[in-house]
Amino acid sequence: MTRVVARPDKLDLDSPGRRDYWVALEHDSIWGDHLIPLTVWVGPEAAEGRGLVAFGSNHGNEYEGPVALKHLMRQIRTEDVRGRILFIPVLNPSAFRSGTRESRPDDGVNLNRAFVEGAGTTPALAGITHRIAAFVRAFIWPRVHTVIDLHAGGDVARFALCANYHRVDDPELAREIEQTARWFGTPCLMVYQNQTPGLLPSEAERLGKITVGTELGWGRAVNVDGVRYGKHGVLAAAIRQGQLRGEIEPIDHHRDGTQKVVEMVDRECFTVAPFDGHYEPLVECGTVVRRGQAVGLLHDFDHIDMEPWPAVAGVDGVVLAQAWAAPVPRGQHIVVVARVAS
């Protein structure tokens, strides 16, 4: 296959067939471009405003998404595509190339906080990260009704593997979002707070799109189950929503009916490190705990004789995430316990 370098206005996202692009967005520092890989399939039943997009590497140190989509790019046959499917396995090449959460070599912005008013169009918000958000708004949102944003914990947190979403007011959209999330097969479905400005999924939801995220690994590694869940969830969404021919069966916790819907929508779910220290987990992610139970210990090695500080669960529920790297700064959320909704 030939991957063509093209400015966004030269992309063909509507004609039948498969096309592979490097989307060129001007570099801020060198005489050149940031290149974003994009593959589009358009089938005979493609409809205006209908389609599926799957993103990897919104954050640059989360690798299950890019790996899963790279595999699927070789698996999907053009003749099986009915509607429109777009894969962008590395949405933020600046962060990806540096292996960082933010676009650190360039403007230092977190792409999953960049979907704000004026992104890419006002001087104060004109760096590469905000221009990626502007590209998604102008060229991707108008062509899709389903958005899959594949994340992992990176260096920050180890997760119980999950698909995730926000609560939305439209009951029909809420049902479809939850069903799309269930098809990933993960042990947990995480319902999380929707107060953080600039989230890519939040904007997609406000536009009425079926929107599902994930946490499929941690530690700048590639999680075997995370890749498998990512591939299955994206394929299931494409098949169930008529964008791809084929049959698919539920897997793992979805098949067995053992998925837990858990909610982390208020501050009580988060335990904050009160000082710089080193975190020791006492239980695994996914463990059911009670409010007040010690989930981990925070050690202060500058005061070697001090008793470790117990990081306790703020609510009854499931340990959804814990600090991954042992050294943690004061203020980091080192334990997240989510309430079990169902």
Interval 127-156: pLDDT, tens: 999 999 999 999 999 999 999 999 999 999
In terms of domains, do 299 and 232 share one? no
In terms of phi and psi (left: phi > 0; alpha: psi -120 to 50; beta: otherwise), the region of 129 is: alpha
In terms of domains, do 282 and 244 share one? no
Look at residue 50 and tell me whether its pLDDT is greater than 70.
yes
Average pLDDT over residues 247-253: 98
In terms of domains, do 331 and 182 share one? no
Q: What is the pLDDT of residue 342?
A: 80
Q: What is the pLDDT of residue 29?
A: 81
In terms of domains, do 106 and 195 share one? yes
pLDDT digits (tens, 9 = 90+) for 82-111: 999 999 999 999 999 999 999 998 999 999
Burial 64-78 (b: 16+ CB within 10 A, else e): bbbbbbbebbeebee
CATH number at residue 119: 3.40.630.10
In terms of domains, do 216 and 276 share one? no
Tell me which of 240, 264, 288 is where a domain ends: 264
Q: What is the pLDDT of residue 246?
A: 97
Tell me which of 264, 291, 306 is where a domain ends: 264
Look at residue 195 and tell me whether its pLDDT is greater than 90.
no
Q: What is the pLDDT of residue 242?
A: 97
Distance CA(150)–CA(229), nearest Å, equals: 10
Distance CA(215)–CA(213), nearest Å, equals: 7
Quickly list DSSP for 179-213.
HHHHTT--SEEEEE---STT-HHHHHHHTT-EEEE
pLDDT digits (tens, 9 = 90+) for 144-192: 999 999 999 999 999 999 999 999 999 999 999 999 999 999 999 999 9
Structural domain harbouring 38: 3-264
Look at residue 28 and tell me whether its pLDDT is greater than 90.
no
Dig out the tokens for 323 from the structure.
């600090």
Q: What is the mean pLDDT of the chain?
A: 97
Dig out the tokens for 88 from the structure.
């962008």
In terms of domains, do 118 and 227 share one? yes
In terms of domains, do 247 and 284 share one? no
In terms of domains, do 189 and 328 share one? no
In terms of domains, do 255 and 283 share one? no
**pTM (global) more than 0.85:** yes
* Count: domains in the chain: 2
In terms of domains, do 108 and 181 share one? yes
- The residues with which 271 forms a beta bridge, in sequence order, are 335
Cα 302 versus chain centre, distance: 37
- Asked whether the beta carbons of 337 and 319 are under 8 A apart, the reply is yes
CATH number at residue 283: 2.40.50.100
Look at residue 1 and tell me whether its pLDDT is greater than 90.
no
In terms of domains, do 237 and 91 share one? yes
Tell me which of 241, 264, 287 is where a domain ends: 264
Average pLDDT over residues 270-297: 98
In terms of domains, do 304 and 247 share one? no
